[in-house]
Amino acid sequence: MTYIAKTVGFKPGERNVFFHILTACNLSCSHCYINHKQHGENSLTKEQIIEWLQLFVDKKKKTNLILLGGEPTLHRDLPHVITEAKKAGFFVTVDTNGFLFNDFLNKISPNSLDYLSFSLDGPNAEVNDPIRGKSVFDTCVKNIRRAVSMGFSVSVIFTTSLRNKDFLHKMVPLLVELKVKKFFIQVIGLRGKSAQHNIESRVKQVQVSREEWLKIVPEVALQAAARGIEVTYPKVFLDKDELFECAGNVAENFFIFPNGRVYKCPLCEDYPVNAYHIENNKLIATGGLTEESFFALDIKEGCVMNKLLQPDNIEYDKDGGVVHRISCCLLKEQINL
């Protein structure tokens, strides 16, 4: 059988709500994008979470809710939140670093959660733990096994950087053995901790070049698909005839932080340019200069925020033309079975 990667355009009528219910975490991953100055230190109460969720209910559209942090299982009321979110009609995923605090697996039934997504940045402790922390690999893998054996649908997120790109292919047999259903290959973004160096050194430290990305990622994605795993990875580079669209203009994505900021674009999260904020349990358009002002700009390089924040990944020809436009970071390639 031949597997073909398909670009998943932004689907009208589909919405994604990424809800950071707290920013606290037991780990300190080297590429963590949580920025306490911008995203706050607080943990929302159970009541606040439920009230804020209601702001994003739209019964006419499929809404994917991703509950995350920080580490969301540190929140004791997470099982209750999941139950209420399902009642409100959300398709619910929890993103965890694998520690599963507060006896999480025994507090909910596998049927009440659509996906439990674990972060792993290497196929073994030698690769994963220098990035995510000592003993993290063993804990995460042990809890993936437990979750699968209890009947949870499990996915894995791998963030590709210079530190682990050469080990991505080794994830495939591990995921097969662990009976993981979905695999999300991410590209490291220059946000949060990864952005705390000068441009030249941070690119050298973390970012995979276009050549490396195209050589490694699609091939591993095909290998995983051939073994029965649904794979998704960011498009990143557009060919000449491919349409550029900014999700901020054509899709509904919300990135909610516990300090009340609500962004439409994840690349904007290090700056106070959030399009909305929540005040007194109401969703309010921020007004003035916000991320929406950037979405309206039409530039030859594609994504405006990429051009502003990480211009090093744009290639120009000798006449100043762009060799490859950069796609919206939310545009994905998917290999379905």
**Contact residues for ligand SF4 (CB under 6 A)?**
25, 27-29, 32, 34, 69-71, 97, 246-248, 265, 267, 294-295, 303-306, 328-330
Q: How far is the CB of 169 from ligand SF4 (least distance, A)?
A: 23
Q: How far is the CB of 96 from ligand SF4 (least distance, A)?
A: 8
Q: Which among 267, 262, 202 is positioned nearest to 234, based on CA atoms?
A: 267
**Count of positions (residues) in the chain:** 337
Comparing CB distances to ligand SF4, the nearer of 162 and 226 is: 162
**Pairing relationship of beta strands 154-160 and 115-119 according to DSSP bridges:** parallel
Q: How far is the CB of 2 from ligand SF4 (least distance, A)?
A: 30
**Measuring CA to CA, how many Å separate 136 from each of 60, 83, 257, 292?**
40, 28, 25, 38
Comparing CB distances to ligand SF4, the nearer of 172 and 267 is: 267
Comparing CB distances to ligand SF4, the nearer of 223 and 276 is: 276
Comparing CB distances to ligand SF4, the nearer of 25 and 222 is: 25
Comparing CB distances to ligand SF4, the nearer of 164 and 306 is: 306
Record the tokens describing residue 173, joined without a space: 């047999």
Record the tokens describing residue 65, joined without a space: 């809710």
Please give the Cα distance from 103 to 89 (Å, whole number): 25
Q: Which among 139, 134, 87 is positioned nearest to 118, based on CA atoms?
A: 139
Please give the Cα distance from 221 to 227 (Å, whole number): 10
**Pairing relationship of beta strands 282-285 and 276-279 according to DSSP bridges:** antiparallel
Comparing CB distances to ligand SF4, the nearer of 172 and 236 is: 236
Give the CA count within 13 Å in the CB-facing half-sphere of 327. Answer: 22
DSSP states along 255-271? EE-TTSEEES-GGGTTS
Q: How far is the CB of 331 from ligand SF4 (least distance, A)?
A: 8
Residues 188 and 208: beta-carbon distance below 8 Å = yes
Comparing CB distances to ligand SF4, the nearer of 82 and 131 is: 131
Please give the Cα distance from 9 to 134 (Å, whole number): 38
Comparing CB distances to ligand SF4, the nearer of 225 and 307 is: 307
Please give the Cα distance from 176 to 229 (Å, whole number): 8
Residue 189: count of CB within 10 angstroms of its CB: 22
Q: How far is the CB of 57 from ligand SF4 (least distance, A)?
A: 23
